[in-house]
Structure 1
Amino acid sequence: MPQTITLSPNTQLIKSDVTLPVTDAWFEPGFWQAQNALSGTGNGRGAVWFIHNELGDFVIRRYHRGGLIAKFNKALFLYTGLKSTRPWLELHLLEKMRALNLPVPRPIAGLITTHNGFYRSALITETIANASDLFEMIKAGKSHTLDWNNIGHVIKRFHDHGIYHSDLNCHNIMVDQLNTVWVIDFDKCEQRPINPIWQQNNLDRLKRSLNKESEKQASFTVTDTQWNHFLEGYRG
């Protein structure tokens, strides 16, 4: 279970990896930039920074809202207790999945800053080495090189442990140079009782993401045969 350190009346540090000297400064890109350790940035709902230094390779993600509400409130969430915050829940779930030997990033730490009943937050996890997400690989014309059967088998492993991914899509599944399949970004996800309805909804969401990108990207192609291999791997 994550450990909590109170840094000030309004700031709490949540640590999953107690071996690292994580401080609140770790969540500031400028801290790493001053050490020439800021290796890149990313896009998505939240702001993302990639860190490379002698302690390891990490990714910082600030929690942002999506949808229409983001036009009025981009990063504030109602504070109802530490164990209900996005970083604490995600770190705790990552710890559970690591204990189950599921292929997910190593959880490092989270930071919560509260003010007037709301909070802002950020998360640090370890970067998956030498990996690309399905979107980038398929866009680059490498769909035929992917082991779709194994990807389906890995997703089934998560489902067999009751892991519900709220946004399973082609950006949140990664494959490394050893062809190990990883799943990332577990914000708003949970472990729940096994039920074929939500499991099928997860698969449908992934398929919609593939179809959506194929409509937007001329080079993005997943054949019916490849998707059937995925389903065969999922069904065992």
Structure 2
Amino acid sequence: MADSPGDKTFERYCTFQRGNERGFATRAQHATVMRALLDRWRCEPMKAMGRGGLYTFPVLLRKGILREYRRGGIVGRHFREGTLTNRPLHEWDILNRLFNADFPVPDPLGVVWKRRSLLYTGAIATQYIDARNLAEYLANQDESSAKLLETVGALIRRMHDLCVYHADLHVGNILVARDASGGPSIYFVDFDNARVTAVSQLDRARNMLRLRRSFLKRGLRVTDFEHILRGYGPLDVPAWLETAYEIKGALSDALNRRAGAHVT
């Protein structure tokens, strides 16, 4: 990906640069977001989850959340800083694509990146969503959540129709917040490894199988997942792919138990 997004982005964002650090920040709170991205100004650390450090910071009458990008996996244990691709800009660009299409993602407030030799480092700032993930929400619901889950399914289809493939679609990356009237409001997060593409039937099936697997791993009802499928609509899942995901899941479970890894 090039180091600058489309022209429409400049209507909503200001650019900034300090040395070899470059970025974008929302015009509405340009100085606040820029200083948070560059200097962690007024940032409060959160409990780290995943690969990057997390911070909250005040912006207007709400909070922002800032996430640093770091390597994960085996390589990340030895080389935490720097990636070969501009991951901050990549995710921020996809969030803008979805946000501008009125798809429920956190408002992308800004991004910063720095290139040193062949490696990129950086951070992204988005709206802070006070929410529970879908697994936590369902675990605390006494009444039927069929309508909400069908909405989740319909939104996943819309995301695919907007040509966005979420590479890690699981219950932890679907958030349920409360809207102004007290009803549930859905958000999708973690588009770090997502890609913009015409989403094939095979990739659609992969996304839904990944999501179903997360239901099973969290001990959630399969009938709840069926509501998501109903909301998604017609979907052809090849038998060989379903079998492959079952085998992959069994192997992953065995490795995670051995390593004591977190379940998603």
| Fold conserved between structures, TM > 0.5 | yes
Q: Distance in 2 between matches of 1:189 and 1:49?
A: 22
Does the C-alpha gap of structure 1 residues 227 and 75 become closer, same or farther in structure 2, counting only changes over 3 Å?
same
Q: Does 1:196 align with 2:206?
A: no
Instruction: Name the SS for the 1:70 alignment partner.
Output: helix
Q: Distance in 1 between matches of 2:53 and 2:94?
A: 21
The Cα shift of 1:195 comes to: 1.1
Give the 5 Å matches for 1:105-144. Answer: 105-128=106-129, 130-138=130-138, 140-142=139-141
Q: Distance in 1 between matches of 2:120 and 2:30?
A: 24
Q: Distance in 2 between matches of 1:30 and 1:40?
A: 13
Q: Find the counterpart in structure 2 of residue 228 from structure 1.
A: 226
Which 4+ runs in 1 deviate beyond 6 A? none
The Cα shift of 1:199 comes to: 0.6
The Cα shift of 1:13 comes to: 1.9
For structure 2, list consecutive stretches of 5 or more residues without a partner in the other structure.
Answer: 1-5, 235-264
The Cα shift of 1:145 comes to: 4.8
- Whether the 8 Å contact between 1:137 and 1:143 is mirrored in structure 2 is no
Q: Distance in 2 between matches of 1:77 and 1:150?
A: 35
Q: Distance in 2 between matches of 1:205 and 1:21?
A: 38
More helix by share: 2
Q: Distance in 2 between matches of 1:95 and 1:141?
A: 32
Q: Distance in 2 between matches of 1:60 and 1:152?
A: 28
Identity across matched positions, percent: 25
Q: Distance in 2 between matches of 1:102 and 1:112?
A: 25
Relative contact order: is structure 1 or structure 2 higher (C-alpha 8 Å, sep ≥ 6)? 1
Does the C-alpha gap of structure 1 residues 186 and 175 become closer, same or farther in structure 2, counting only changes over 3 Å?
same
Q: Distance in 1 between matches of 2:228 and 2:96?
A: 27
Q: Distance in 2 between matches of 1:5 and 1:39?
A: 24
Q: Does 1:14 align with 2:24?
A: yes
Q: Find the counterpart in structure 1 of residue 175 from structure 2.
A: 174
Q: Does 1:32 align with 2:42?
A: yes
Q: Distance in 2 between matches of 1:235 and 1:69?
A: 39
Q: Distance in 1 between matches of 2:165 and 2:143?
A: 28
What is the CA deviation profile of residues 183-213 of structure 1, one whole-angstrom value per residue up to 9, with x for unaligned ones? 1111121221131100110111111122223
- Whether the 8 Å contact between 1:90 and 1:187 is mirrored in structure 2 is yes
Does the C-alpha gap of structure 1 residues 30 and 63 become closer, same or farther in structure 2, counting only changes over 3 Å?
closer
- Whether the 8 Å contact between 2:24 and 2:111 is mirrored in structure 1 is yes
- Whether the 8 Å contact between 1:152 and 1:231 is mirrored in structure 2 is yes
Q: Find the counterpart in structure 2 of residue 81 from structure 1.
A: none
Q: Find the counterpart in structure 2 of residue 61 from structure 1.
A: 67
Does the C-alpha gap of structure 1 residues 143 and 13 become closer, same or farther in structure 2, counting only changes over 3 Å?
farther
For structure 1, list consecutive stretches of 5 or more residues without a partner in the other structure.
Answer: 79-83, 215-221
